Amino acid sequence: MQLDLPYALTAEVTHRCPLHCPYCSNPIELRQRENELSTDEWLSVLTQAGDLGVAQVHFTGGEPLLRQDLEVLVHCAREAELYVNLITSGIGLTEERLRQLSEAGINSVQLSVQASSAKLADSIAGFNSHELKRQAAQRIRASGLPLHMNVVLHRANLHQIEEIIELCVEWGAQRLELANAQYYGWALRNVQQLLPRREQLQEAEAAYVRARERFRNQIELLWILPDYYEEFPKPCIGGWGRLSLTVAPDGRVLPCTAASEIRSLSFENVKERELSWIWKHSPSFNAFRGSDWMPEPCKSCERRELDYGGCRCQAFLLTGDARTADPVCKWSPHRYAITDRIRSIENIDDHAPAPVYSYRGR
């Protein structure tokens, strides 16, 4: 297959975070501060990314604002002619910090929100953050930077979807990503507490459609499909190792943010290899490119060039085999791994006590 250049780099500069969200996609084994790449190492990564042809970088974490050198990294990324997006909880985004980041050349900010009401939002985040997020949104808009927002949707907040959209409009967001929870990392550990019933999801999607009509000229809405309830899987970020790459806090280079969960693969590190070599030649990035690796039923499936067999991380986490068909697929021999989870939550009482989560970082 012809190898394209990567379009985007996700720079996970730290796993540290003031929030403790139960759906966090960071790995269960969080990388500690002493294992994070140094400033100079990140500067090298960003320069190499520009040379490789990357067009945009997303600074994320954890909470990237906890890196005191973030402004230096942003400036380097702009020097490398990268579009720079900051993905943040907003905690610590003071007027002065925002001014420094703006002067360094940041292009846009994506702010997370957990719910429309402060009480529920703070409960989900495990931290009293909702008001701080509102203030951060106000500062971003006042600075003239584009404000994008995102919310992870799950059983505890799906009923607020119209109110969440209305809140983001009020806060001045230009774009809102409505991301139904993906069950990796901490979200998989909390799947029984987070997974909605089919009826809840249908009601939420109807609410989304109403809100889309109501606010059609005020905000761009993006609905991320809840794949547990789909017949076919989503493509793995456009296909494994095809569009983007992630650099983890310790320097490992991953085809996607959840790939470190695949224990059967070893991932190269920017401390030891050039980013270009990793993209083009590393065994991990080439493991699931194309279709030669596919077993049946994927190998002869007419959808193999549409979804590329689905998510490799999900396949590994639910079956122990990263090469098998994504269990979301109705033709997967492991489809029961999805249907058993769905069946187990269908009789949950909506009026039951609040769920007890395993919180990230606790």
Q: Kindly give, in sequence order, each residue whose CB lies less than 8 Å from that of residue 209, ignoring residues fewer than 6 positions away.
A: none
First to last CA, the chain: 44
Q: Could you tell me the two tokens for 55?
A: 């067009």
Binding residue numbers: 17, 21, 24
Backbone angles phi, psi at 102, to 5 degrees: -65, -45
Under DSSP, is residue 222 helix (H, G, I), strand (E, B) or coil? strand
CB-neighbour burial class of residue 250 (10 A; exposed 0-12, middle 13-18, buried 19+): middle
Q: Could you tell me the two tokens for 168?
A: 């983001």
- Alpha carbon distances (Å) from 272 to 13, 44, 118, 267: 18, 12, 45, 11
- Alpha carbon distances (Å) from 25 to 95, 188, 200, 320: 29, 9, 23, 18
Q: Could you tell me the two tokens for 259?
A: 């790939």
Binding residue numbers for [4Fe-4S] cluster: 17, 21, 24
